[in-house]
Amino acid sequence: MSAVPAMGLACAVIGLAGCADKADQPRSLAGADPARGLVVIKRAGCASCHAVPGVRWPAGATAASLDGFGDRPLISGRLPNQPDTLVRFIRDAPSLDPQTAMPPMPVTEAEARHVAAYLYTLR
Ligand code: HEC
């Protein structure tokens, strides 16, 4: 994970307001509703692969638990954990990282925004 200190340095030097590794930075998605995101998560079956706080069953173990995701600086340890990137990752992760085992998910852009808003409540 050598990318993390490097990004931290870039943030310190450039002073970007929304820098990717500021895990305590509020991440807002205008108009997105975390409660609707949880409904989408249940319907889409994210929990068949991920343990997701708020979803009692199933609690899949083929992928990382999403508990605490809102505090992670990176998505899958590689991509900046920022709203636009997360929304795209949720819908079509392979378009961002061809090596990823996270499949494209059949959710709309609006649904993915709700999901992202929910994931950012997981601190
Ligand atoms: C078929 C299994 C599967 C399903 C279904 C699935 N995922 Fe994933 N997901 C993965 C795998 C595997 C990874 C790890 C990818 C990697 O590291 O490249 C991942 C990674 C992630 C990450 C990054 C986690 C981290 O700690 O950085 C998020 C966020 C995520 N998935 C959200 C979702 C959401 C939201 C849904 C439902 C819309 C979903 N996933 C459905 C398998 C799945």
Substitution candidate for ligand 1 out of 102, 114, 118, 120 with most atoms within 8 A of CB: 102
Closest CA to 34 of 105, 95, 122, 109: 122
pTM for the predicted model, two decimal places: 0.85
Q: How many CB atoms lie within 10 A of CB 2?
A: 6
Q: What is the mean pLDDT of residues 89-110?
A: 97
Look at residue 18 in the predicted model and tell me its pLDDT.
Answer: 44
Look at residue 26 in the predicted model and tell me its pLDDT.
Answer: 61
Confidence band for 57, pLDDT divided at 50, 70 and 90: very high
101 C-alpha vs ligand 1 centroid, how far in Å?
A: 8
Look at residue 28 in the predicted model and tell me its pLDDT.
Answer: 83
Look at residue 24 in the predicted model and tell me its pLDDT.
Answer: 54
CB distance 20 to 81 below 8 Å: yes
Q: How many CB atoms lie within 10 A of CB 96?
A: 16
Percent of residues in the chain assigned helix, strand, coil, to nearest 5: 45, 5, 55
Look at residue 23 in the predicted model and tell me its pLDDT.
Answer: 52
Domains and CATH numbers, the chain: 26-119 (1.10.760.10)
> pLDDT tens digits for 25-53?
667 898 999 999 999 999 999 999 999 99
Tell me which residues have their CB closer than 6 angstroms to ligand 1.
41, 44-46, 48-50, 62-64, 66, 69, 72, 75-76, 90, 97, 100-103, 105, 107, 115, 119
∠100-30-114 over CA atoms, to 5°? 45
Substitution candidate for ligand 1 out of 4, 21, 49, 87 with most atoms within 8 A of CB: 49
Structure-model confidence comparison of residues 76 and 4, the more confident one:
76
Look at residue 22 in the predicted model and tell me its pLDDT.
Answer: 52
